[in-house]
């Protein structure tokens, strides 16, 4: 019986770690679904690689068309996007200043 106690403790620790890991994955998946629901036509987004654009079409295959410049549209996976509103304010501020400067130059 005494030799069984360390084994049982070890198993409980492993099961606990697996449970916490699964819970974290579920929360992360839920957050990704919520982000994807916020992205629609006309939403300003930033890709995971830092490219800014505006969604012009959303496809059934979990992809979107982004307008990154006048007449330039690129296809991106929905999972690779973050809406600008979810970014920290210092990044949103930089984007808005850049837009204002671009509008002034036009």
32 and 77 co-located in one domain:
no
27 and 56 co-located in one domain:
no
48 and 88 co-located in one domain:
yes
Q: Phi/psi at 42 (nearest 5 deg)?
A: 95, -5
> Model pTM greater than 0.75?
no
Task: Please give, one letter per residue, the 3-state secondary structure of the chain.
Answer: CCCHHHHHHHHHHHHHHHHHHHHHHHHHHHHHHHHHHHCCCCCEEEECCCCEEEEEEECCCCEEEEEEECCEEEEEEHHHEEEHHHCCHHHHHHHHHHHHHHHHHC
106 vs 97: CA distance, rounded Å: 14
Of 105 and 6, the one with more pLDDT: 6
Region 47-52 average pLDDT: 86
28 and 60 co-located in one domain:
no
- For residues 66 and 76, the answer to whether their CB atoms sit within 8 Å is yes
Q: How many domains does the chain have?
A: 2
89 and 59 co-located in one domain:
yes
2 and 16 co-located in one domain:
yes
What CATH number does the domain containing 70 carry?
2.30.30.140
75 and 99 co-located in one domain:
yes
Sheet hosting strand 44-47, strand order edge to edge? 72-77, 63-69, 52-58, 44-47, 81-83
Work out the percent of the chain whose per-residue pLDDT is above 90.
25
The answer, yes or no, to whether residue 12 has pLDDT greater than 90, is: yes
Domain that residue 1 falls in: 1-38
Q: How confident is the model over 19-33, as pLDDT tens digits?
A: 999 998 999 888 878
54 and 14 co-located in one domain:
no
What local confidence, expressed as pLDDT, does residue 100 receive?
46
């Amino acid at each position: 019986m005494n030799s069984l106690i360390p084994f049982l403790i070890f198993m409980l620790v492993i099961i606990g770690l697996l449970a916490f890991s699964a819970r974290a994955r579920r929360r992360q998946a839920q957050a990704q679904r919520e982000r994807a629901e916020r992205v629609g036509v006309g939403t300003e987004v930033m890709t995971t690689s830092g490219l800014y654009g505006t969604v012009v079409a959303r496809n059934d295959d979990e992809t979107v068309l982004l307008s990154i410049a006048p007449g330039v549209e690129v296809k991106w996976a929905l999972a690779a996007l973050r809406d600008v509103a979810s970014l920290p304010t210092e990044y949103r501020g930089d984007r808005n200043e850049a837009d204002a400067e671009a509008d002034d130059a036009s």
